[in-house]
Amino acid sequence: MTHRMKSLPSLALWLLLSCSIAWSDNPPPNVPKLDIRFTQKGFRTVPENFVAVCNSAAMAIARHYPDRKFKPILIPKANHGYPVQLDRKGPNGESRIMLSVSDGWGWAQIAFQFSHEFTHIVINQDQPSAGPNHWINEAFCEAASYHAIMVMAKEWKTHPPYPNWKGYAKHLDSYAGNYLKKENAKPEGMEFIPWLRKHEKALRLGKRYPNREIYKYVSYQLYGLIERNPKHLAAIGLLNTGLKDQALTTRQYLARWKKVLPPTHKPFADQTAALLGYPLSSP
């Protein structure tokens, strides 16, 4: 009897470890299919490797949109002055993203920039402008890029794009750590909501181009929400769906978003609004 009682915890631990190992051996999702094409000539990189990094970064986000048909994505320039998802489509209607890297070997930087701009495709492509609330879009894109790097760091330990890339996983993790420092939780030494109230007007005045040095602290907070339940990344693609009034306040913008979300994602809108200091009333 005593022997059996001692064995139960061991059995439970064995089952837990077995499930964990089995889970870690599962390859990353490959749906939806993405068609990413590096088209710049003469840039110092191996185009196939460059695309593999971008695909891995984008799939960390795209996996939450398994039924969405993404247009092919062209990367016409990797050493642009700044990373950007272009409004103007390619010759056959392709999406276009330009990055801002000095060479094609800085995979963590490539992944970080590409996942941010890919999230703009998810949120903003063929959607109404968010106007003064665009800072919320930018903050989510940045938070999604933190998430993408962390997903890659975990998955590349066992399932990198190529077997000999496993060792790079630790560099991805280290790169993400530069953006996820604990001191970012209290910018300027302030609690987050009072700090946001101090800077919210400037963020809203930035419209299409809010100051990243401000909204990155919002991204840090949003990343925490995403990591609690990454499935809610499926909600950010509806931030601007059906938006008709660009003059909405922050609270109104978030409340409108909640209305268009399916029931499973409405709690995420509530959590986001509360995080930003604008708790929404129950529907």
Structure tokens belonging to residue 238: 């509806």
**For the chain, what is the domain count?**
2
The verdict on 50 and 136 lying in the same domain is: no
14 within some domain: no
Q: Which of 97, 124, 151 is the last residue of a domain?
A: 124
The verdict on 198 and 239 lying in the same domain is: yes
Q: Whole-angstrom Cα distance, residue 135 to residue 46?
A: 34
The verdict on 53 and 94 lying in the same domain is: yes
118 within some domain: yes
Whose tokens are 């894109």? That residue is 141
Q: Which of 84, 103, 124 is the last residue of a domain?
A: 124
144 within some domain: yes
The verdict on 43 and 147 lying in the same domain is: no
142 within some domain: yes
13 within some domain: no
The verdict on 153 and 266 lying in the same domain is: yes
| CA within 13 Å, CB half, 162 | 9
The verdict on 136 and 268 lying in the same domain is: yes
The verdict on 116 and 182 lying in the same domain is: no
95 within some domain: yes
Q: Which of 67, 91, 124 is the last residue of a domain?
A: 124
| CA within 13 Å, CB half, 118 | 34
Q: Whole-angstrom Cα distance, residue 250 to residue 202?
A: 13
The verdict on 269 and 139 lying in the same domain is: yes
pLDDT in tens, the chain (283 residues): 333 333 334 434 344 434 433 344 688 998 999 999 999 999 999 999 999 999 999 999 999 999 999 999 999 999 999 999 999 999 999 999 999 999 899 999 999 999 999 999 999 999 999 999 999 999 999 999 999 999 999 999 999 999 999 999 999 999 999 999 999 999 999 999 999 999 999 999 999 999 999 999 999 999 999 999 999 999 999 999 999 999 999 999 999 999 999 999 999 999 999 999 999 975 4
- For position 73, which CATH number holds? 3.30.2010
4 within some domain: no
Structure tokens belonging to residue 128: 């109404």
The verdict on 119 and 229 lying in the same domain is: no
pLDDT tens, position by position, 56-79: 999 999 999 999 999 999 999 999
The verdict on 88 and 57 lying in the same domain is: yes
The verdict on 185 and 51 lying in the same domain is: no
Handedness of CA 28, 236, 58, 109 (dihedral sign): negative
Would you state the pLDDT for residue 10? 42
Would you state the pLDDT for residue 281? 73
Sheet of 73-75: strand order equals: 36-38, 73-75, 95-100, 79-86
Q: Whole-angstrom Cα distance, residue 76 to residue 275?
A: 38
Domain hosting 56: range is 36-124
The verdict on 143 and 99 lying in the same domain is: no
45 within some domain: yes
